[in-house]
A and B are shown apart, each in its own frame.
Chain A
Amino acid sequence: MAVKNIVVHICPFESNVRSTREFLVMVGSEKARSTSINCEVMTEVKHDQSEPLVDITFMDGERLMMKGARLTIKEMLTALQSRCVAKDPRPKLPPRSSPTQNTLIELFCVGICKCL
């Protein structure tokens, strides 16, 4: 619930956009969006040979900008997840708790990091 909006700037004709595009797929997925309804995911497609950029604005006004040219998707997801957890620390819930209590973006990021 800490993320306000996510803006992704990409130039699809460049060769260094793979991780940013994959990040966009992960963050824009149905699962992540359905629980964090307040969070808007916007994409800006440009053609000016600029570097791919992910601009995340949190509820408290803090901004996280990730330049995805040299980052892997795992790094980007762990960075986002660590910041979400730092902003919204929840006590360790018992294993039988329902998944909607945690932010699904965080859970998704953790799940994806484990899979990768």
Chain B
Amino acid sequence: MFFRVPSCFERRNCNRCLTYDARPPFQRFLTKMAATLCGRLLPKQGWLPLTQSVRHGSKAVTRHRKPMHILKQKLMAITEYIPPKPAAPPGALTPRVKPVQEESGLVLLLKKDLQTMFQDCKMIAVIQNNATNSEDMLLLKHRLHKHGIKIKFIPNQVMRSYLADSPYINMGPLFIGQTVLFVSKEPKVKEMLLSLRTSPQMVLLGACIEKILLSRQGVLNYAKLPSVTVVQGELVSGLTMLTSQTASMLQRHPAHLSLILQQYLKQQAPAGSTNGTPGESPPKAEETA
């Protein structure tokens, strides 16, 4: 005979529950087989298993960690291993060195051209073009060619790298975005400004005229200047004005005296001609003259 087992969830750890099966072993085995085979079916039907094996006095977990003594705990905490901080990888701290790129042949050629251009040309103007179409560009080229002004397209990188080594380093900030260079051997500023007036997209930013960097206003003022001969004449007249004033001031008294004497002679001459012979007056006039 065996006792009915309560179907409680704590069946495993419950020491109170036990079964005693007095059946012969073969029957027990068959029951167990049936239980294992029908194990899935019975719960579905709502039947409890016929036999439930429960361990008595035996636990699943038998080895528990022994609580550490407080002194040992302290010792362990003090002597805990602190691993050394891993050093930063070698690529993290050192600044990344950019490999210095060698300049290509085209760049070197362009730089040579720029050097000759800066030496020969007296006027180099920097213009920003806001997407001029090709027809306008052709017309502008033609108009400027009449006055001997050439249009050059040079990449900004090349320009900036050249200017960094040259004395024209302050022109560097002008070369941002779409820029065009107007170069000419003679500084023909008026003609250039007239041509630019017709194309509103081309904006004059600055120019290097006769090795002097000028802003837009400076270029406009330069255009208003008169020619060299006129300026020289003005300069000479300005310088000689003071000296001429001094000279005239010094000569004022003798000049005044000579005028007075001449007038006196003139007054004396009619009086002498009425008293003396008429022949005497002309020789006297000749002497005084």
Binding stretch for chain B, among A8-16, A64-72, A78-86, A88-96: A8-16
Interface bits B119-138 vs A (CB < 8 Å: 1, else 0): 00000001010110100000
A29 lies within 8 A of B131 (CB): yes
B114 interface hit (Cβ, 8 Å)? no
In chain A, positions 29-64 with a C-beta closer than 8 Å to chain B are: 29-30, 41, 43, 45-47
B57 interface hit (Cβ, 8 Å)? no
B223 interface hit (Cβ, 8 Å)? no
Given known contacts A12-B206, A45-B204, A47-B217, is B176 in contact with A17 (CB within 8 Å)?
yes
Which residue of chain A is the closest to B132 with respect to CB atoms?
A30
A18 interface hit (Cβ, 8 Å)? yes
Residues from chain A with a CB closer than 8 A to the CB of B206 are: 12-13
Which residue of chain B is the closest to A45 with respect to CB atoms?
B216
Inter-chain CA distance A43–B130, complex, in Å, is 11
Chain A interface size range: 10 to 19
Most A CB contacts (10 A, CB to CB) among B126, B174, B205, B206 go to B205
Inter-chain CA distance A47–B215, complex, in Å, is 7
A15 lies within 8 A of B173 (CB): yes
Interface bits B188-207 vs A (CB < 8 Å: 1, else 0): 00000000000011011110
From A13, A18, A24, A47, B130 is in contact (CB under 8 Å) with: A24
Inter-chain CA distance A24–B128, complex, in Å, is 10
Chain B interface mostly helix, strand, loop or mixed? mixed
B131 lies within 8 A of A45 (CB): no
Chain B interface size range: 20 to 34
| A76 → chain B closest CB, angstroms | 14
B131 lies within 8 A of A21 (CB): no
Inter-chain CA distance A43–B218, complex, in Å, is 17
Inter-chain CA distance A28–B131, complex, in Å, is 7
A116 interface hit (Cβ, 8 Å)? no
Inter-chain CA distance A18–B130, complex, in Å, is 14
B173 lies within 8 A of A45 (CB): no
A45 lies within 8 A of B201 (CB): no
Interface bits B125-158 vs A (CB < 8 Å: 1, else 0): 0101011010000000000000000000000000
B177 interface hit (Cβ, 8 Å)? yes
Residues from chain B with a CB closer than 8 A to the CB of A47 are: 215-218
| A69 → chain B closest CB, angstroms | 14
B161 interface hit (Cβ, 8 Å)? no
Residues from chain B with a CB closer than 8 A to the CB of A29 are: 130-131
**19 further A-B pairs in the complex, CB-CB below 8 A; given A13-B170, A22-B177:** A12-B174, A12-B205, A12-B215, A15-B173, A17-B176, A18-B177, A21-B176, A24-B128, A25-B128, A25-B178, A27-B130, A28-B131, A29-B131, A30-B133, A43-B203, A45-B204, A45-B215, A45-B216, A47-B215
Can you list 9 residue pairs at the A/B interface with Cβ under 8 Å? Answer: A12-B215, A13-B170, A13-B173, A13-B215, A22-B177, A24-B130, A30-B131, A43-B203, A45-B203
List 7 tightest A-B contacts by C-beta distance, closest first: A28-B130, A47-B215, A29-B131, A12-B205, A45-B216, A43-B203, A21-B177
